[in-house]
Amino acid sequence: MANPLYDELFGKHLGQDTVFLQLADGQTISHDTFLKMSAQFANSFKDLGINAGDRLAVQVEKSPQCLAIYAACAQSGVIFLPLNTGYTANEIEYFIENSGASLVICDDNKLTDLAPIVESLNAAVETLNSDGTGSLPTKATSAPTSFATIDRSGDDLAAILYTSGTTGRSKGAMLTQENLLSNARTLVKAWKFTSDDALLHALPIFHTHGLFVATNISLLAGNKMIFLPKYNLDDIIALLPEATTMMGVPTFYTRLLSDNRFTSELAQHMRLFISGSAPLLAETHIEFEARTGHRILERYGMTETNMNTSNPYDGERRAGTVGFALDGTDVKITNSETGTELPKGEIGQIEVRGPNVFKGYWQMPEKTAEELREDGFFITGDLGKYDDDGYLHIVGRNKDLIISGGYNIYPKEIELLLDQEENVLESAVIGVPHPDFGETVVGILVPKPNTNIDLTSVATNVAKSLARFKQPNKLIIVKELPRNTMGKVQKNALRAEYKDLFTDG
Do 105 and 200 fall into the same domain? no
**Half-sphere exposure for 434 (CA within 13 Å, toward CB):** 19
483 in a structural domain: yes
Q: Report the domain count for the chain.
A: 3
Q: In terms of domains, do 275 and 141 share one?
A: no
Quick one: 376 and 422 in the same domain? Answer: no
Q: Residue 177 falls within a domain, yes or no?
A: no
Pair (393, 321) in one structural domain = yes
Determine the Cα–Cα distance for residues 46 and 377; give it in Å rounded to an integer.
Answer: 38
Q: 152, 169, 203 — which closes off a domain?
A: 152
Tell me if 147 is assigned to some domain: yes
CATH classification of the domain holding 430: 3.30.300.30
3-state secondary structure 2-40: CCHHHHHHHHHHCCCCCEEEEECCCCEEEHHHHHHHHHH
Comparing CA positions, the residue from 408, 454, 180 lying closest to residue 307 is: 180
Residues 283 and 214 in one domain: yes
Number of residues written out for the chain:
505
pLDDT of 1 reads: 67
Are 201 and 241 in a shared domain?
A: yes
DSSP annotation string for 264-293? HHHHTT--EEEE-SSPPPHHHHHHHHHHHS
Question: Which CATH number fits the domain that encloses residue 239?
Answer: 3.40.50.12780
Contact 473, 464 (CB under 8 A): no
Please list the residues that pair with 379 across neighbouring strands: 351
pLDDT at 287: 93
Cα(242)–Cα(325) distance, rounded to whole angstroms?
31
Q: Is 150 left (phi over 0), alpha (psi -120 to 50) or beta?
A: beta
* One domain for residues 64 and 138: yes
Is 474 part of a structural domain of the chain?
yes
Domain boundary pick from 345, 364, 397? 397
Q: How far apart, in Å, do the first and last CA atoms of the chain sit?
A: 62
Check if the beta carbon of residue 87 is closer than 8 Å to that of residue 59: yes
Quote the strand ranges of 407-465, DSSP E. Answer: 407-409, 424-434, 438-447
Do 209 and 315 share a structural domain?
A: yes
Say if 157 falls within a structural domain.
no
Look at residue 169 and tell me if it is in a domain.
no
Q: How big is the CA angle at 415 (ends 412 and 420), to the nearest 5 degrees?
A: 135
Cβ count near 238 (within 10 Å)? 12
* Owning domain of residue 248: 190-397
> What span, in angstroms and rounded, lies between the C-alpha atoms of 465 and 48?
64
3-state helix/strand/coil string of 168-197: CCCCEEEEEHHHHHHHHHHHHHHCCCCCCC
The domain boundary residue, chosen from 103, 123, 152: 152
Cα distances (Å, whole numbers) of residue 205 to 15, 68, 156, 211, 285 = 25, 11, 21, 5, 25
Do 406 and 491 sit in the same domain of this protein?
yes
Q: pLDDT of the chain along its 505 residues, tens only? A: 699 999 999 999 999 999 999 999 999 999 999 999 999 999 999 999 999 999 999 999 999 999 999 999 999 999 999 998 888 888 899 999 999 999 999 999 999 999 999 999 999 999 999 999 999 999 999 999 999 999 999 999 999 999 865 445 789 999 999 999 999 999 999 999 999 999 999 999 998 999 999 999 999 999 999 999 999 999 999 999 999 999 998 889 989 999 999 999 999 999 999 999 878 888 889 999 999 999 999 999 999 999 999 999 999 999 989 999 999 999 999 998 899 999 999 999 999 999 999 999 999 999 999 999 999 999 999 999 999 999 999 988 888 889 887 777 888 889 989 999 999 999 999 999 887 787 899 999 999 999 999 999 999 999 998 888 889 999 999 999 998 877 888 998 999 999 999 976 5
H-helix or E-strand containing 226?
A: strand 224-227
pLDDT number for residue 167: 45
Domain co-membership, 68 together with 140: yes
Position 165 in a domain: no
- Same domain, yes or no: 223 and 134: no
Strands lying side by side in the sheet with 79-82 = 124-127, 103-106, 55-59, 79-82, 157-162, 172-176, 360-361
CA distance 136 to 125: 9
Give the pLDDT score at 168. 57
Tell me, what's the pLDDT at 166? Answer: 44
* DSSP-assigned letters across all residues of 345-383: T--EEEEEESTTS--EETT-HHHHHHHB-TTS-EEEEEE
CA distance 126 to 422: 53
For residue 161, tell me if it sits in a domain. Answer: no
Q: Are 386 and 331 in contact, with CB atoms under 8 Å apart?
A: no
Kindly state whether residues 335 and 424 are assigned to the same domain: no
How far is 79 from 98, CA to CA, in rounded Å? 14
Helix (H) or strand (E) holding 461: helix 455-463
